[in-house]
Every structure is written in C-alpha cells, then in structure tokens.
Amino acid sequence: MKKTVTRLADGRELVYYDLRDDAVRDAPDRRPLGPVATTSEIRRDALLGDAVAIASHRQARTYHPPADECPLCPSRDGRLSEIPEPDYDVAVFENRFPSLAGDSGRCEVVCFTSDHDSSFADLTEEQAGLVLEAWTDRTAELAELPQVEQVFPFENRGAEIGVTLGHPHGQIYAYPFVTPRTTLMLRSVREHRAATGRNLFDDLVERERTEGGRVVLEGRHWVAFVPYAAHWPYEVHLYPVRRTPDLRGLDDAARTEFPQIYLELLKRFDRIFGEGEPPTPYISAWHQAPFRAEGRHDFALHLELFTIRRTSGKLKFLAGSESGMSVFINDVPPEAAAERLREVASE
C-alpha cells in the first residue's frame, strides 16, 4: 500500500491509498473554495447522560446530486470534485459538512472506489483489503488526536437508510467521548468479568460457535453469526477469532482472510429477498475499543452488519417501543435469519 497525504483548496486533509507503489498523486485542487465554517457543538442530556451533536451547518450539505455532479467521483472531463485526481483506488478526506469538528471531534469520508456505479460487494479481494488498510491507518492517525476518544468507521448503503450520495463510500467518526452503546458494552464486560472471571466477548463467540445454529459463515480467522438477541430483521456480527481491541491489532492472517469473508457476507445480503429485488439497504459498523477507557483490553473488535428491510418491499421502522423506550421488537427469529443467510451462499 502507498499512502499520499495532501490538502484540498480549503485546507482539509485528503489521503490517497493506492495498491501500486509507483502511484503518483499530485493533482492540485483547482476549485475556488472558501474556508470551511462549522457550528458543531456537543451537548449533554442531563437525564440520559449521553451526548448530542448539534451541527446546523449540515443543512446545506450536498443532497442527492445527479451522477454527473457526484462530489466523490474523480475530477475528469473538466468537472472538479472533492478528489482532484482523474482516478483513484481509495481516497479519504475531511468532510466539508462534518457532524463533529475541532474540539468536538472529526468526520472523514472514505471513498471505496472511483467507480460511481459500483458497490463494496463489487470490489475485488485486493481492493477490499486496501479499504481495510485505510480503516486501520485512519484509526491509528485519529488515535493521536488529543480530543479523540473513540473511532467509528461505518458504511450506510441505500436510500432507505438515508444516504444522500450514491457513490460507494463510508465515513469515519472520531468522537470526543465514549459512545453510549460502547459504554453499555464495557459495563456488561466488567460485570461478566466480576461474576465469572472470564471475558464476555470470548464467551459470546464461543457460545455461537458451539451451538452453531446462528453461525452464517466461518473461516480460520473470522466467524460471522446472527446474534442470539438480534435487534434487526437480518443482522450479522463478524468477529476475528483472535480477540483484539481495535483494527490495529489484527494479524496478517486475519487481514488476508477478511476480504473473502466480508465480501461474501455482502453478496448474501443482496440475495436475501430473492431475484429482482433492489440492492439490500444496510449499515455496516465497526465497533472498536475507546482509546483510554477502563477495560479497553477486554473489548473485542467486531463488525455489525444489518438491514432495515424485514421482507420484500417492507422496512423495519423504529416506532414507539424502539424510538421511545429503546426496546426493539424483531419480526424475524435470529435462527431463521441465519438459515436464510446460509441458503443464499455463493456457489
């Protein structure tokens, strides 16, 4: 992998990740951009104890542009975009409309490929491996920022999810606090350690591998399963067999196998609802340990992949119980979801 760091016209950082060591990335950003103005503010909810990012400047962000005006495509044919080069492998840049900025954290956009009409599932194993290297490198770089407590790489795919740019891409949020979901996980891990002397993540993964009924896909270094208490109609958790707190700790064997396992999972997601169905909308989320939290080394890196589509033409909406009380009601038994995801395996 070759890494090239440069700047956009308004001073934002842009990083190219290339498969070829001889790749040259020196095209300047010729757009007449003014400085980025953000209004990001973190407010604490006194009742719940969690944080809310207030970011009114995001109301002006780019919204469903036509394909020939996509800001994530490379700059070519006289049209200038966020990426000055006429082609690229993987590109990461600071979001012009960030939810988090300055002392309130940082937001980055990760472009998986220059092909606008592609998707992550269409990448080759080599390309997917490069994205993994980019996620890992960004985690390492963002960990050095004093205001950052936790790094969250994720992908939203599909209009149903709320995606406003069709180009295959994800984001990275670098939070200045430990997120509520991670705080709950760390609490459960501490309680399990105190009660049993064992690691909760290790026990969960071992249970799924032993029982087997919810395991979707297993390699030598990764295991994917539908969790026992899945919140979403089709939800898969992907764990490295050797526990590590974040992406930086993956060994070479796990890095090599990851593209094979992950690409297969994404292809199965697109086949869940049968032939002729539009691509399955999904959220793919990396859960990593906070950098300075108590119990960090008991945390297990894992990826959670889920869709809000519950059956053909129908979505799972977060209604009264889910939105009002955070109590999920799942219409698809996890065992049935796992069986379906095994049925649609690639031949």
- For 266-276, the pLDDT digits (tens) are 999 999 999 88
Mean of the pLDDT values across residues 159-168?
A: 92
What angle do helix axes 334-343 and 252-269 make, rounded to 10 degrees? 90
**What number of H helices and E strands is found in the chain?**
6, 15
Mean of the pLDDT values across residues 316-332?
A: 95
In the predicted model, is pLDDT for residue 194 greater than 70? yes
- The pLDDT, as a whole number, for residue 40 is 85
Instruction: Please give the backbone phi and psi of residue 14, each rounded to the nearest 5 degrees, phi first.
Output: -130, 130
CA distance 90 to 132: 10
In the predicted model, is pLDDT for residue 233 greater than 90? yes
237 annotated to bind ligand: no
111 annotated to bind ligand: no
Let me know: does 41 contact 52? Beta carbons within 8 Å.
no
Please report the domains of the chain, with CATH numbers, ordered by start residue: 2-175 (3.30.428.10), 180-343 (3.30.428.10)
Between 27-41, 186-200, 257-271, 291-305, the lowest mean confidence (pLDDT) is in 27-41
At 74-112, the pLDDT tens digits run 999 999 999 999 999 999 999 999 999 999 999 999 999
In the predicted model, is pLDDT for residue 64 greater than 90? no
307: helix, strand or coil: strand
Mean of the pLDDT values across residues 137-153?
A: 97
CA distance 314 to 308: 9
pLDDT band, residue 232 (cuts 50/70/90): very high
pLDDT band, residue 178 (cuts 50/70/90): very high
Q: Would you call 169 a catalytic residue per the annotation?
A: yes
Let me know: does 232 contact 307? Beta carbons within 8 Å.
yes
Q: Which long-range contacts (CB under 8 A, 24 or more apart) does 218-227 make?
A: 219/257, 219/260, 219/261, 220/253, 220/257, 221/251, 221/253, 221/254, 221/257, 221/258, 222/254, 222/257, 222/258, 222/261, 224/261, 224/265, 225/338, 226/334, 226/335, 226/337, 226/338, 226/341, 227/334
CA distance 286 to 196: 27
107 annotated to bind ligand: no
- The pLDDT, as a whole number, for residue 63 is 64
Let me know: does 92 contact 79? Beta carbons within 8 Å.
no
In the predicted model, is pLDDT for residue 61 greater than 90? no
Mean of the pLDDT values across residues 29-57?
A: 90
- The pLDDT, as a whole number, for residue 251 is 98
- The pLDDT, as a whole number, for residue 60 is 64
167 annotated to bind ligand: yes
- The residue with tokens 């208490």 is 229
In the predicted model, is pLDDT for residue 240 greater than 90? yes
**Average model confidence (pLDDT) across the chain:** 95
In the predicted model, is pLDDT for residue 329 greater than 80? yes
Alpha helices of the chain — where are they, by DSSP H? 125-142, 180-196, 200-211, 252-269, 325, 334-343
This prediction has a pTM of 0.96
Beta-sheet strands, E only, within 241-328 = 282-287, 302-307, 309-311, 314-315
pLDDT band, residue 11 (cuts 50/70/90): very high
In the predicted model, is pLDDT for residue 46 greater than 90? yes
- The pLDDT, as a whole number, for residue 263 is 98
At 79-89, the pLDDT tens digits run 999 999 999 99
Beta sheet of 234-240, edge-to-edge order? 2-7, 13-18, 90-94, 106-111, 169-175, 150-157, 282-287, 302-307, 234-240, 222-225, 215-218
Looking at 169, 192, 221, 302, which residue is catalytic?
Answer: 169
Tokens standing for residue 81: 């975009």
